[in-house]
Structure 1
Amino acid sequence: MGKDKIRRFAEIEDFSNVLQLDEGKPYKGDWSKDFFKNDNPIVLELACGKGEYTVNLAVLFPDKNFIGVDYKGNRIWRGAKTALEEGVNNVAFLRIQIENLEDYFAAGEVDEIWITFPDPQPQLSREKKRLTSPRFLNKYIELLKPGGCVNLKTDNDGLYAYTAEKIQDLQLKEHVNTADLYHSEYADEVLSIKTYYEQKYLKVDKNINYLKFSFH
């Protein structure tokens, strides 16, 4: 592990907006009241990486609470540090394996889920690791409030097609489906938030896919 990674792992130990592994479990069912000290809705960003989307959403929607979830602490460090430096108090980061999400959030506790540029896990043998596989969708339907939506933003055409297929197979409610977000009618202030990697894709004219869906 490089010196920067070691330093970042050490720093996040003292960040008030970062919870690691089992630290988030006491808040299950009471994140808004006990952690954020309010009654505002909870929004998750899964596989949040450096947390650009989490922090920018929190700035746009101060009346909501945002939690970025990822296992890589050296990446979480960037978003958490930015939020602390800029005084964005409605954002937190949870360092856990996403497979264990239901250990940290109660049924119906989450209002919305964002999945932005996740690892597409293209090999067929790794389908269960895709964040829009039935394995994960079953977790989301448990955690989301009735009518709560899942947003997928990805450069990977394969993951986009796979997810669109699952929406149809499982008869989920599709709200938005576009294979070229920035040449569509949907590119509003929220969807135009760009992560570091997205900016790289756009420089080489890569299309950005977006799906928004919910469960009946």
Structure 2
Amino acid sequence: MPLCNYNMGKNKLQKFRELEQLEHVFQVPSEQLRAGQQCEMKGRWREFFGNDNPIVLELGCGKGEYTVELGKRFPDKNYIGIDIKGARLWTGAKESFNCGMKNVAFVRTNIEMLPYFFDKDEVSEIWLTFPDPQMKKKTKRLTSTGFLNCYTGIVKPGGLLHLKSDSNFMYTYTKAVVAENQLKVVDLCDDIYAQRLDDAILSIKTYYEQQWLARGITIKYICFELDPKDEWKEPEVEIELDPYRSYGRNKRSELNLTD
């Protein structure tokens, strides 16, 4: 094994060990969840935080930048970052621990496993920050009807879903889903840094968001209410693909998108 790969693997193992020691990080192996085991905190998150403040999730939180910053700016809410990548999640977990933050926690799991970690109506809001638009795989889009149905099992009626995205495809698709299912739009913006520069929530910039902005890509935002439906309907709409996502990751990083 090349030395760089060895060190990388060693660093990951160290981070995994540290995550196990952090009391505000929760992990249950997928095989145990599929066998019916629930997370010990399901239905008890307010007990963990020691208050009745609203609980807000960031799904696919990556390094937890948004989770931590929201926790700093809004101490009257409790924030939980969720991601399957432990080595990434470690960054936000360590920062929140070192800062002594009491309103931030992290869960390492797949998003499909949310019902094993949260009880009915236990969550007030969900944030999706720059999710993969999954242009070829509708069922994997985090605003598809399958996922919305999952979210409504844990989010209280009328709870909010926030989507912040560089992807015009994802933004357009989500608007179509919302319209097709007659969900109430709370806020909508197709260029937040041109229209909402002073917004305390939307002005938080993640590492990847700064990269998109540097390439001249506008950042979109939609917020809507989540309500359970007897039947969810996928929109029948053709959406133009994001051209920069037709390249591989290395090609996208080299591409000057402002030309």
- Normalised TM-score (structure 1): 0.94
2:161 aligned with 1:150: yes
Q: Deviations over 1:112-167 (max 9, x none)?
A: 110001121121xx211111000010112221112210000011111111111100
> Structure 1 vs Structure 2: percent identity of aligned residues?
50
Q: Secondary structure at the match of 2:40?
A: helix
- Runs of 4+ with >3 A deviation: none
- Normalised TM-score (structure 2): 0.78
Find 1:12's aligned residue among 19, 26, 29. Answer: 19
Q: What pairs up with 1:1-216 in 2 under 5 angstroms? A: 2-21=9-28, 25-33=39-47, 35-123=48-136, 126-185=137-196, 187-216=198-227
- Whole-angstrom CA distance in 1 between matches of 2:172 and 2:197: 18
- Whole-angstrom CA distance in 1 between matches of 2:197 and 2:148: 24
Larger Rg over CA atoms? 2
1:86 partner letter: C
1:207 partner letter: T
Cα drift, residue 187 of structure 1: 5.0
Q: Which moved more, 1:136-145 or 1:203-212?
A: 136-145
Change (3 A) 1:24 1:115: farther
- Whole-angstrom CA distance in 1 between matches of 2:115 and 2:194: 36
Asked if the contact 2:191–2:218 (Cα under 8 Å) also holds between the matched residues in 1, the reply is: yes
- Whole-angstrom CA distance in 1 between matches of 2:115 and 2:22: 24
Cα drift, residue 2 of structure 1: 2.3
Q: Deviations over 1:97-119 (max 9, x none)?
A: 11011111111110111000112
Structure 1: give runs of 5+ residues left out of the alignment.
none
Change (3 A) 1:168 1:109: same
Change (3 A) 1:187 1:148: farther
